[in-house]
Amino acid sequence: MNMTRITKGAKQLISHLAEEKKRIDNRGFDDMRKLEIEYDISDQAEGSARVKLGETEVYVGVKVGLGTPYPDTPNKGNLIVNAEVTPLADEEYEPGPPRDWEVAIARVIDRGIRESGSIDVKKLCIKEGERTWEVFVDVYVINDDGNLVGAGGIGALAALKHAKLPAYNKKEDKIDKEGKRTKAIPITAEPIPISFAKVGSHLFVDPKKEEVQNATAHLVVTVDEKDRIVSLQRQGSEGLTFEEIEKCLKTAIKQSKIIRKQLA
Amino acid sequence: MAYKKRLDGRKFDQMRDIDIKLGVVANADGSAQFSMGRTKIIAAVYGPKTLHPQRLREADKGIIRAYYRMLPFSVSERKTPRPGRREIELSMVIKEALEESVFLEEFGQAVIDVHIYVVQADAGSRCASICAATLALADAGIPMKDFVASVSAGVVDGEVVLDLNYQEEAYEDGDVVDMPIAYVENLNKVTLLQLDGKATEKQAIDALKLGIEGCKIIKGKMQNALKQKFA
């Protein structure tokens, strides 16, 4: 369906419904959509997951290879998060280099997982200064119905949790493809990104695409299992007040618990 | 071990010294250099000018484009000149931090380009970039609702602090939270909000409050600099 055609009326509809405390899909302002997680969508990947959040669908795969540590972090392994919104995901997307908002999706998911210290990258180091595991997390958006960071971040965590490192042949310094995979990725915290969109004066959690398109401000709050805020990202053409931010933090902490229960 | 004293001797709620120079790029419509401790940024504004290609134009409002780049010699390990994902993302959030304050409706079909270069990096470069860009916009005479002031707040080993430097960001004896903030006082809005690290809800809220107060101080300094030039 061509969303741009119905977008014009959508803002008025969203605001009008919001006055009656309703959303376009009858959810409460603070309610997430139904979450479905399927694991192991590709047996070539070290770990993978398909996540559906309402009609938003992402595929996430984890690939692991051998690399060398960066010179400024000789005792740490590498974890790289990449995200792409494919032309499958909506009529408006065309193939080409990633746009800035697409780069931001990857960066926000990456910050939530890697920079929050949720992966013990020191344990990914095999030999200081010489050999490390390189973990690539690739997030691909298959269908866009809003909240791509939310779905992508849940998918990334799900895929990482299910991933197993390959066996390492120390003598020949290479991956032993026949060897038994026993080691998990060293995950020390479980960050869940919760997204908000502000349309008019209303804040919606887990926004649908129409809500995202008509929002003037977006906020992603990533929360770990100890209720700590591990990442924040505000985007959009308008700012948020202190009170709005405070409310989002509280809602995010609450909703992250519900999502986390569904992550096996 | 608690963080009793800051590594560079500042008070917990004290920001680094600020230095502002206006009109530092002769050809630009407006420009500024903004330094915060050792972090040094140069920004130049070109525009409002006609936007090409035409399909990017908006009939009833102008657009801002921001380009945040790090000079290869601004960091200890040379940075490749090619813009990376970090620079692309920061360009976007910087643009979005500025947008609401500029009277864009006065510049239909036009574009305002803001070019920002990090000359010397010692943490807080995106915040200093927003200050430099705001000053360059003001120096270019572009009408704005208010200054966009920006500073980072955060937590070092349990202590809420203002304006972390690189040493503090890299502090290894305890958890570090870095929360870059931009605040527009007249609109009472936070237009940049990011966070790295692990913060409790209370720490996040306390840091946000401290950051907003810091932004108010920076706004005063920006105001003074402009008054001195144009008085």
Q: Nearest CA of chain B to the CA of A101: how many Å?
A: 7
Residue ranges of chain A with per-residue pLDDT less than 50: 1-5
Proportion of chain A above pLDDT 90, given as a percent: 76
Beta bridge partners of A63: A136
Q: Which residues in chain B are closer than 8 Å to A107, comparing Cβ atoms?
A: 85-86, 89
Q: What is the pTM of this model?
A: 0.88
Q: Which residues in chain B are closer than 8 Å to A115, comparing Cβ atoms?
A: 196-197
Q: What is the pLDDT of residues B77-134, one digit of tens each?
A: 888 889 999 999 999 999 999 999 999 999 999 999 999 999 999 999 999 999 999 9
| Mean pLDDT for chain B overall | 95
Are A7 and A146 in contact, with CB atoms under 8 Å apart? no
* Mutate which: B80, B85, B152, vs A, most A CBs within 10 A: B85
Q: What is the pLDDT of residues B52-70, one digit of tens each?
A: 888 888 889 999 999 999 9
pLDDT of residue A2: 43
Are A152 and A60 in contact, with CB atoms under 8 Å apart? yes
Q: Is the dihedral of CA A199, A202, A203, A206 positive or negative?
A: negative
pLDDT of residue B185: 98
β-strands A229-235, B189-199: how paired?
antiparallel
Of A148, A163, A145, which is closest to residue A41 (Cα–Cα)? A163
Measured between alpha carbons, how far is B179 from B156 in angstroms, rounded to an integer?
11
pLDDT of residue A163: 94
Q: Which residues in chain B are closer than 8 Å to A253, comparing Cβ atoms?
A: 201
Q: Nearest CA of chain B to the CA of A138: how many Å?
A: 15
Q: Nearest CA of chain B to the CA of A249: how many Å?
A: 7
Please tell me which of the candidates A111, A228, A246 has its beta carbon nearest to residue B199.
Answer: A228
- Give buried/exposed letters for B12-27 (b at 16+ CB in 10 A, else e): eeebbebebebebbee
Of A66, A64, A65, which is closest to residue A130 (Cα–Cα)? A66
Q: Which residues in chain A are closer than 8 Å to B208, comparing Cβ atoms?
A: 242, 245
CB proximity A242 to B under 8 Å: yes
- CA of residue B99 relative to chain centroid, distance: 13
A233/B209 touch (CB, cutoff 8 Å), yes or no: no
Q: What is the pLDDT of residues B176-215, one digit of tens each?
A: 999 999 999 999 999 999 999 999 999 999 999 999 999 9
ipTM exceeding cut-off 0.85 for this assembly: no
Average pLDDT value for residue range B11-30: 96
Measured between alpha carbons, how far is A157 from A139 in angstroms, rounded to an integer?
11
The two three-digit tokens of residue A156, written as one number: 């990334």
Give the contacts of A82 (CB within 8 A, at least 6 positions apart).
A106, A136, A137, A138, A139
Nearest CA in chain B to A104: B89
pLDDT at B1 exceeding the cut of 60: no
| DSSP string across A124-174 | GEEETTTEEEEEEEEEEEEE-SS-HHHHHHHHHHHHHHH-BPPEEETTTTE
Size of interface A-B (CB pairs under 8 A): 104
pLDDT of residue B54: 87
pLDDT of residue A234: 97
pLDDT of residue A95: 82
pLDDT of residue B44: 94
Distance set, CA A229 to CA A192, A233, B196, B204 (Å): 10, 11, 9, 7
Query: Environment class of residue B83 by beta-carbon count within 10 Å: exposed (0-12), middle (13-18) or buried (19+)?
Result: middle
H-helix or E-strand spanning residue A107: helix A100-110
Measured between alpha carbons, how far is B205 from B199 in angstroms, rounded to an integer?
9
Give the contacts of A64 (CB within 8 A, at least 6 positions apart).
A46, A133, A134, A135, A136, A163, A165, A166
CB proximity A26 to B under 8 Å: no
Are A255 and A193 in contact, with CB atoms under 8 Å apart? no
Alpha helices in B74-199 (DSSP H): 85-99, 125-139, 166-169
Which architecture, in CATH terms, is A14-263?
2-Layer Sandwich (3.30)
Query: Environment class of residue A98 by beta-carbon count within 10 Å: exposed (0-12), middle (13-18) or buried (19+)?
Result: middle
